[in-house]
Structure 1
Amino acid sequence: MKLRIAILGTRGIPNYYGGFEHISEYVSEGLVKRGHKVTVYNSHNHPYQNDAWNGVEIKHCYDPEYLMGAAGQFVYDLNCLMDARKQNYDVILLMGYTSSSVWGRLYPKQSTIITNMDGLEWKRSKYSKPIQRFLKYAERLAVKHSQYYISDSSIIKTYLADKYDIDSRYIPYGADPFSLNEREQMSKKQALKEDYFLLMARMEPENNIETILQGFNSSNSRKQFVVLGNTENRFGKFITHKFKNDNRIKFKGAIYDTPSIRVLQNNSYLYFHGHSVGGTNPSLLEAMASEALIAAHNNPFNRSVLNADAFYFSNEGDVCNLVENVQRQNNEQAMVNNNAHKIKQHFNWDNVVNQYEEFAIECYLKHNHDRPVKTQQ
């Protein structure tokens, strides 16, 4: 069965922003290769301005976020929905609900609506109490107006079942294993473990960036600490100012070139993953795939992915202890190998795309059980 599928709720593809854009790249391209007609909605000012990308149709909708700030996201999502109402898609996949579920009554009635429920957005400490209350409301609206649901973490799946008594489908993010070709393209210098720690994240409080860097700052390590992420927002400026006198800490800005990121992760002595809110985080899977040794914030989301194959920290003291004492020996290499095996067996993109395709078809058939099934030649 071949379906007409639209993906809404992202800033667009190819990815220049974050997790939902990252997975939308792979899922949309993968579904096209499986014979489906896929459309992804892009912001009108997305850097990629063509009408197609790797077989995926691109629709550009007006996005006033550059004029209105965060409120512009609601207008952008409304514009995407109003266009989608005219298109008669078989399936609409909504990536998140923060600025779209308020328009739930406008979701196209003829389409099967599947929402990726994201990761407990209302828990993010960057949001004020009123915004957190709104996000809880938006979550309820997403449950009310969607027909089917995806959780990218087993923790989110359990939460939705307990909170709303709904059965969401667990489909994680994916990553590509570190390939033989990538190894062969690395120089001899790159192939050696470099003398630096690494952190890659959006500059947000809930990513524990301050905790990680404060722990490193108080250590006696002689290694450098490389930080990847756009530091132009308020928290980013605060962090760079706070640690400006520690010459070991190097803020490198945001990097979206995947091969470069993978080499940096692979070469790092220890990769710090500070995300504490949300589901399965794409940058964590990329680090696992890149065969980095990982130190992760101690929370259920990270533990559900890494299990015993990582070091964990909860505070600055833990970070300082890891920085000063972690060794790269046989036990640590076993942790790296185990995580690489998880990517190949469970978190690989073919598996993820297959699950999205199977779920989309299953939901479409359920939604249309009383109507003749459409087929495309």
Structure 2
Amino acid sequence: MTISIIGTVGVPAGYGGFETLAQNLVEYNSASGNGAEVCVYCSAKAFPERPDHYRTARLRYIRLDANGPQSIAYDALSLFDAVRRGDHRVLLLGVSGALALPLVRLISRTRIVTNIDGIEWKREKWKGLAKTVLRASEWAAVRFSHIVIADNQAIADYVTEAYARPCKVIPYGGDHTLDAAPDPTAVAELPENYALALCRIEPENNVAMILEAFAGLDTPLVFVGNWDKSDYGRDLKARYMGHSTITIHDPVYEPRGLRAIRDRASMYVHGHSAGGTNPSLVEMMHFGVPVLAHGCSFNRHSTEGKARYFESAAELAEQLRNLDIEDADRIGADMLEIAQRKYTWDQIGKAYFELLDHA
């Protein structure tokens, strides 16, 4: 059986949840002796050297960007190429290329399994035509895929309610973050103990809310993100850069540096309010520290209601003031137990390949 993974920049993974998923599926297939031939579609623009294989997976290259305006064409061309080659299964990650699925279904017998990611069209950053296209792509993905995957029960509930279709829930793994040895130079200039926030600097991740809450407290905060990517980020960086207890940190993608920064954190603050099971949340749960998360349904499902939740700066500040050592230890232990039970790549890989085998 030939399985093509479509919708990512490619492997080996750089920064990105779907890339990490694709890489770990390849590694699971290699280690398990599953017997499937896995092919991963990659952006030629992101891989100047373009090897033919990664582990036991074959790599195929499309000469377009995997993200941004070209993503729709990138995914669509990948789909048609997989169909032309007679691949038995396609795992489509995201809905960018889903508008091509009606034709794919018409001309081929390839079985399509789609992970629809979050409810992308509801994100604040999308307006007008972009929002319309994303909503149509979601509809096409749900309507024309043989199997639909959600990474969070709240998204599966949405799919069932909005489209009257069943939806399989398979989350992300996070235990790969423990593989790298920590790099002590990454934390040389950071406090000994701090609350950690780590995300793309976007309004829907409630960055301003978190900064406002910590600005009035004595608790040190290290906030890691791509501050210079947007006016929103640059404005917040300028406002809080000189704060005595807030460290505005540039993005860190290198695994050893990330491991060191996470190791030293005494708690994790997660502001995401859109999407589904967010990779940075399940990754941090493996570190066994208390989690304070935005109170949206996605985060509550991911943490099984056992974290602390907030929906305003005042509420977050109050949660921090009332978090004693006993509560912090209990929450941290709960996060680790959930992570080890639900968010390991061996479990995720097994679930995906069992689903693909019977698609």
Q: Which residue of 2 aligns with 1:32?
A: 30
CA-CA distance at 1:277 after TM superposition: 0.9
SS in 1 for 2:46: coil
CA-CA distance at 1:40 after TM superposition: 0.9
Q: Distance in 2 between matches of 1:182 and 1:74?
A: 38
Q: Indicate whether 1:339 and 2:335 are aligned.
A: yes
What TM-score comes out, normalization by structure 2 length?
0.89
Q: Distance in 2 between matches of 1:56 and 1:302?
A: 33
CA RMSD between the two structures:
2.7
Q: Which residue of 1 aligns with 2:108?
A: 109
> CA contact under 8 A between 2:159 and 2:167: conserved in structure 1?
yes
SS in 2 for 1:356: helix
What TM-score comes out, normalization by structure 1 length?
0.85
Q: Which residue of 1 aligns with 2:92?
A: 94
Q: Distance in 1 between matches of 2:305 and 2:150?
A: 23
Q: 1:146 to 1:181 in 2, by over 3 A?
A: closer
Q: Which residue of 2 aligns with 1:41?
A: 41
Q: Which residue of 2 aligns with 1:267?
A: 264
Q: Indicate whether 1:348 and 2:344 are aligned.
A: yes
CA-CA distance at 1:347 after TM superposition: 1.6
Q: Distance in 1 between matches of 2:124 and 2:64?
A: 26
> Which of 242, 246, 249 pairs up with 2:246?
249
CA-CA distance at 1:311 after TM superposition: 1.6
CA-CA distance at 1:138 after TM superposition: 1.4
Paired AA for residue 114 in structure 1: V
SS in 1 for 2:114: strand
Paired AA for residue 323 in structure 2: V
SS in 1 for 2:40: strand
Mapping of residues 5-84 of structure 1, within 5 Å: 5-33=3-31, 34-47=34-47, 49-64=50-65, 70-84=68-82
Q: Which residue of 1 aligns with 2:217?
A: 220
Paired AA for residue 271 in structure 2: G
Matched residue count: 352
SS in 2 for 1:269: strand
SS in 2 for 1:138: helix
Q: Distance in 2 between matches of 1:313 and 1:359?
A: 36
Deviations 1:92-129 (A, max 9, x none): 000010x2012223426121101001111111111114
CA-CA distance at 1:50 after TM superposition: 2.2
Q: Which residue of 1 aligns with 2:357?
A: 361
Q: 1:220 to 1:171 in 2, by over 3 A?
A: closer
SS in 2 for 1:32: helix
